[in-house]
Amino acid sequence: MIGIFDSGIGGLTVVREFLKQLGGYDMIYFGDTARTPYGSKSPETVAAYACQDTDFLISKGARIIVIACNTVSSVATESIKAKYNIPVFEVITPAVELAVRMSNKYRFGVIGTRATINSGIYEYKIKQINADAKVYSAACPLLVPLVEEGWFKKRETAMIVKQYLQPLKVRQIDTLILGCTHYPLLNNIIQRKIGQRVKIIDSSAAVTEKVKNYLETHLEIDKMLSRRGQTKLFVSDVTDQFKKTAMAVLKKKVSLEHAKI
Amino acid sequence: MIGIFDSGIGGLTVVREFLKQLGGYDMIYFGDTARTPYGSKSPETVAAYACQDTDFLISKGARIIVIACNTVSSVATESIKAKYNIPVFEVITPAVELAVRMSNKYRFGVIGTRATINSGIYEYKIKQINADAKVYSAACPLLVPLVEEGWFKKRETAMIVKQYLQPLKVRQIDTLILGCTHYPLLNNIIQRKIGQRVKIIDSSAAVTEKVKNYLETHLEIDKMLSRRGQTKLFVSDVTDQFKKTAMAVLKKKVSLEHAKI
């Protein structure tokens, strides 16, 4: 199976893209809702949690791992790759590659959790491709709780988004990377506040494309993956609010199984 | 020592009150910042975490336990009392007793996390004292992240507080219980939005008073407690932001020791 995990339910935006582009494959998702959010925690703590999450997915039969969480991708990809001998995909590189392809002026904005932005990974990866690129970042720690509360269309959310984006707007970026899997759920507000001419890069779509290409060129891995079109969703804590948000993301009725890790 | 714990650093408002009223006693604090927040998680998960937190404090020499977290107080006090044979204090009962003493019209408002409000414990405890009391509750899940970001004086915070309080205001409450140890940090905004005539009950001050009275009447416990005026602060995850918020609460330089639990 394809194993996908996140600190909570934001990573379901990646599942949503996989269902669109790779819907035939069996998928297993794990959201660490008992310890969510990761984005305000230290790299050491995040890396320890991420390895436990990966262990869980592998124990359930995952043969490739997709880190559907920018915080984990930023600070723990190397630990996971070093520990497990299976293909591991993260959301940063595909988003960076897509952003560089899409940009004309090479003026990039990146928004994410504090842990992601502090890691500096987007700037590093963009400049590896184009050393002259300008990269401006902003940590937006309140957006995850706003999304998890389902405040997608509230005036306060729009005001907070505007405040966070202001420093990027004045830098006249032409491409904005949504460096957190929760943010595609605020896509409309973000587009409105940053301006219609700025291209928005959604890492969920980018990583799905990457995995699709990988499977097309690695048939020995591809044939190990089962294809009954089944998706199983596990979380470490089950509450009504988590269920509600999960349904808002996937736009259908879902059942969340409880996993103790 | 006096052991005090919370899901994160909101419980430091209780430490602040203890320092004022019981400053001579040695204190040990534990904030579970690696798994914060508790308020959106299920009762079972919160109870399991709370027992681990208590184990940690006892292993460090705590002889009485103060649960400086309304979520834990709401859903896990009985589990903790059943498991440990030492005095355990929670923040709900002292706040309820104080509120009932202060109220004239017996029209109470309670604000807290979703877990606290869903438990219905405030209404239950108030009605045990006065069956005719009216109790109106509102879950305010975004206030904890706003406090942890230090957004104490922002316009958006005031707007969100206003929205949360509106249903209580129309009920013409005369007493409002701050059912979360983070909320005293928003005291000014809350007072302004609910109206100057409403009495605000801060559970941090109420529980401190309760412990003080207890020690004055239980000298056999009191004499077990060391008194060098020392306070040790442990957290399960250390980040700059947690340090900053801790300093904002205690209004002095603090050092947070890392505890693995």
Together in a domain, B167 and B232: no
Please tell me the predicted confidence (pLDDT) of residue A257. 96
- Give me the domain span that covers residue A246: 2-90+205-258
State pLDDT tens for residues B107-132. Answer: 999 999 999 999 999 999 999 999 99
**Band of pLDDT at residue B171, cut at 50, 70 and 90:** very high
Q: What is the mean pLDDT of residues B64-72?
A: 97
Please tell me the predicted confidence (pLDDT) of residue A148. 85
- Between the alpha carbon of residue A198 and those of residues A33, A177, A205, B261, the distances in Å are 33, 10, 17, 45
CB atoms within 10 A of CB A251: 8
Contact assignment for A142 to B145 by CB distance below 8 Å: yes
Residue B102 C-alpha, separation from nearest chain A C-alpha, in angstroms: 34
State pLDDT tens for residues A105-129. Answer: 999 999 999 999 999 999 999 999 9
Domain closes at, from A203, A228, A247: A203
Domain closes at, from B203, B222, B239: B203
Please tell me the predicted confidence (pLDDT) of residue B208. 97
Please tell me the predicted confidence (pLDDT) of residue B215. 97
pLDDT at A64 over 90: yes
Together in a domain, A103 and A125: yes
Together in a domain, B22 and B107: no
Please tell me the predicted confidence (pLDDT) of residue B241. 86
Together in a domain, B49 and B60: yes
Together in a domain, B113 and B159: yes
Partner A, chain B 168-187, Cβ-Cβ below 8 Å: none
Together in a domain, B39 and B133: no
Please tell me the predicted confidence (pLDDT) of residue B142. 96
Please tell me the predicted confidence (pLDDT) of residue B219. 97
Together in a domain, A110 and A144: yes
Separation between Cα atoms, residue A76 and residue A91, nearest integer Å: 12
**CA dihedral of residues A232, A236, A238, A242 (deg, nearest 10):** -80
For residue B40, which residues of chain A lie inside 8 Å, CB to CB?
148, 239, 241
Q: How do B27-31 and A134-139 pair as beta strands?
A: unpaired
**Band of pLDDT at residue A5, cut at 50, 70 and 90:** very high
Partner A, chain B 52-111, Cβ-Cβ below 8 Å: none
pLDDT at A212 over 90: yes
Residue of A nearest to B163 (CA): A156
pLDDT at B57 over 90: yes
Separation between Cα atoms, residue B15 and residue B220, nearest integer Å: 23
**Band of pLDDT at residue A192, cut at 50, 70 and 90:** very high
The catalytic residue among A64, A180, A190, A201 is: A180
Please tell me the predicted confidence (pLDDT) of residue B242. 87
Eight-state DSSP code of residue A184: G
Residue B39 C-alpha, separation from nearest chain A C-alpha, in angstroms: 11
**Band of pLDDT at residue A252, cut at 50, 70 and 90:** confident
Q: What's the whole-model pTM score? A: 0.92
Q: Which residues contact A151 (CB under 8 A, 6 or more apart)?
A: A157, B142
Together in a domain, B166 and B133: yes
Pick B245 or A228 by higher pLDDT. A228
**Band of pLDDT at residue A52, cut at 50, 70 and 90:** very high
pLDDT at B22 over 90: yes
Rounded to the nearest integer, the mean pLDDT of chain B is 96
Together in a domain, A174 and A222: no
Please tell me the predicted confidence (pLDDT) of residue A242. 87
Domain closes at, from B188, B203, B218: B203
Question: Can you tell me the ipTM of this complex?
Answer: 0.88
Together in a domain, A215 and A192: no
For residue B155, which residues of chain A lie inside 8 Å, CB to CB?
159
Please tell me the predicted confidence (pLDDT) of residue A236. 97
Query: Percentage of chain A surpassing pLDDT 70?
Result: 100
Separation between Cα atoms, residue B187 and residue B26, nearest integer Å: 28
**Which residue from B204, B173, B207, B212 is spatially nearest to B186, judged by alpha carbons?**
B204
Nearest residue, CB atoms, A41 vs list B151, B160, B239? B239
pLDDT at A245 over 90: no
Rounded to the nearest integer, the mean pLDDT of chain A is 96
pLDDT at A149 over 90: no
**Band of pLDDT at residue A173, cut at 50, 70 and 90:** very high
Please tell me the predicted confidence (pLDDT) of residue A241. 86
Eight-state DSSP code of residue A227: -
Q: What is the CATH number of the domain that holds A115?
A: 3.40.50.1860
Please tell me the predicted confidence (pLDDT) of residue B163. 97
Backbone angles phi, psi at A107, to 5 degrees: -115, 105
Contact assignment for A45 to B160 by CB distance below 8 Å: no
pLDDT at B245 over 90: no
Q: What is the mean pLDDT of residues B71-99?
A: 96
For residue B237, which residues of chain A lie inside 8 Å, CB to CB?
41-42, 45
Together in a domain, B124 and B185: yes
Please tell me the predicted confidence (pLDDT) of residue B124. 97
The gap from C-alpha B90 to its chain's centroid, in whole angstroms, comes to: 8
**Band of pLDDT at residue B150, cut at 50, 70 and 90:** confident
State pLDDT tens for residues B205-235. Answer: 999 999 999 999 999 999 999 999 999 999 9
Task: Say how many domains are in chain A.
Answer: 2
Together in a domain, B162 and B234: no
